Amino acid sequence: MLDRRQVDWFSSNDYVVEISDGIALGRNAGSAMVWAGMNGMTSDTLVLIVNTPDRAPDFLLDPPLYQLVFQNSGQVSGQTLAGQNITLIVGTDTTAIESNGRFSHWVPLVEGINPIPVTAVNNENGLSTTKQKTFVYYPFETSGIVGHWSGTTLTRPFSFDIYEALGIYVIDGTLTIDVTMIGGPMIVRDIVIAGLIHPDGTIDASLSKEWGGFTLTGHMEGYFRDSGHSQGTYGFRITRSGWPTVSASAAWTAEKD
What global pTM score does this model have? Answer: 0.52
Report how many domains make up the chain.
3
| Contact between residue 159 and residue 174 where contact means Cβ atoms under 8 Å apart | yes
- Say whether both 21 and 98 belong to one domain: no
**One domain, residues 161 and 132:** no
Q: How far is Cα 70 from Cα 154, in angstroms, rounded to an integer?
A: 29
Per mean pLDDT, which range of 117-121, 122-126, 159-163 is the poorest?
A: 122-126
Domain final position from 119, 137, 155:
137
CB 135 within 8 A of CB 72: no
pLDDT for 162 equals 92
Q: Do 250 and 202 belong together in one domain?
A: yes
Higher pLDDT, 49 or 35: 35
Choose among 81, 130, 134, 127: nearest CA to 107.
134
Residue-wise DSSP of 36-74: EEETTEEPPPEEEEE--TTS---EEEPSPSEEEESSSEE
Residue 241 has pLDDT above 60, yes or no: yes
Residue 82: give the domain boundaries: 59-137
SS (H, E, C) 106-171: EEECCCEEEEEEEEEEECCCCCEEEEEEEEEECCHHHHCCCEEEEEEECCEEEEEEEEEECCEEEE
Query: How far is Cα 220 from Cα 70, in angstroms, rounded to an integer?
Result: 20
Q: What does the alpha-carbon distance between residue 210 and residue 206 come to, in Å, rounded to a whole number?
A: 14
Could you say which of 137, 164, 190 is where a domain stops?
137
CATH number of the domain enclosing 70: 2.60.40.10
Note whether 30 and 44 are same-domain residues. yes
Arithmetic mean of pLDDT, 69-94:
88
The answer on 86 and 65 residing in a single domain is yes
- Do 98 and 189 lie in a common domain? no
- Say what the pLDDT of residue 7 is: 76
Whether 28 and 107 map to the same domain: the answer is: no
Torsion angle, alpha carbons of 204, 210, 213, 218, to 10:
-10
Alpha carbon 141 to its chain centroid, in Å, reads 27
- Please, which pLDDT band fits residue 170 given cuts at 50, 70 and 90? very high
* In a shared domain, residues 15 and 74: no
Residue type, 163: Y
Sign (positive/negative) of CA torsion 101, 102, 105, 111?
Answer: positive
* pLDDT of 229 above 70: yes
Rounded Cα distance between 227 and 70, Å, is: 10
Query: Looking at the predicted structure, is the pLDDT value of residue 154 above 80?
Result: no
Same-domain check for residues 241 and 159 = yes
d(CA 193, CA 184): 21
* pLDDT score at 145: 83
What is the rounded distance in angstroms from the CA atom of residue 188 to the CA atom of residue 209? 9
pLDDT of residue 142: 43
243 and 160 housed in the same domain: yes
Which CATH number covers residue 207?
A: 2.40.128.30
pLDDT tens per residue, range 175-196: 988 776 555 557 888 999 999 9
CA nearest to 80, candidates 98, 64, 106, 55: 98
Helix (H) or strand (E) segment spanning residue 240: none
* Pair (173, 247) in one structural domain: yes
96 and 169 in a common domain? no
- The pLDDT of 161-170, averaged and rounded, is 85
Average pLDDT, the chain: 83
